[in-house]
Amino acid sequence: MDDRFNTASGWVLFAGIVALGASIASGMYFHADDNSYPEGEDFGYFVKGEEVGTEEAGPDLGTLLASADAAAGEKVFAKCTACHTIDQGGANGIGPNLYGVMGTAIGSHAAGFAYSSALTDKGGQWTWENMNEWLKSPRGFAAGTKMSFAGLSKPEDRANVMEFMATYGGAPAKPEPAPVEEAAAEGEDAPGAGPGPVEGAEAGAAEAAGAMSADQPVPAANAAGDNAGATKVD
């Protein structure tokens, strides 16, 4: 029995040696430890990342507020009622009462509410612009704020909510919409863009020459007079 065990062990050992030798030989043949690529050969390909362009700018805040809808803002404000009241004399909750907040100093509107230092140290007032940035991203506007709301990503929603809030206690004057550049009507030439002289401008020599009609008769050198004495054109 010992002979059989020794024989089996020997074969196992021999098989292990053969396997190890084959592994070493194949590694040397296929350059397993060499990370360089053979010259002149390409392996795989690189995927070029897609360039993400900047998003087109939407309407400015003044334009959005000019068409804001308080009724639509009330529906969006329903998300805020879990933490805020907005009626006059309403109690503070997780967040402060928001009656008349528009136009007041940031971080000091609701008496008795413990604002975070991120807001009390912010400074300034709740202008339309500041409130818009706050509603867009509270943490982006005041890093370290206790407010956990992520924000409203749609500019129209923010404009509507602010319009709704303004009906409770008023608000400062809205920013003016950005002026719209008037484009020339299709087919209509701008002054000086089309052919012909511009009214009030002095014509140059080339323009004066071009203005002469090519159909005007020019007396020929061999023109003869008829019996009535009028010039006859050949």
Residue 81, domain member (yes or no): yes
Mean pLDDT score, 12-29: 75
Q: pLDDT of 38-89, one tens digit each?
A: 454 444 433 343 333 334 468 999 999 999 999 999 999 999 999 999 999 9
Q: How many CB atoms neighbour CB 115 within 10 A?
A: 19
Cα separation, 33 vs 20, in Å, equals 16
Cα separation, 175 vs 217, in Å, equals 67
Cα separation, 133 vs 136, in Å, equals 5
The percentage of residues in the chain with a pLDDT greater than 70, rounded to a whole number, is: 62
Quick one: residue 163, left, alpha or beta (phi over 0 = left, psi -120 to 50 = alpha)? alpha
Domain holding 67: CATH number?
A: 1.10.760.10
Q: pLDDT of 77-119, one tens digit each?
A: 999 999 999 999 999 999 999 999 999 999 999 999 999 999 9
**Number of structural domains the chain divides into:** 1
Cα separation, 97 vs 110, in Å, equals 6
Give how far Cα 179 sits from Cα of 3, 116, 144, Å.
103, 39, 37
Which domain, by its residues, includes 105?
Answer: 61-166
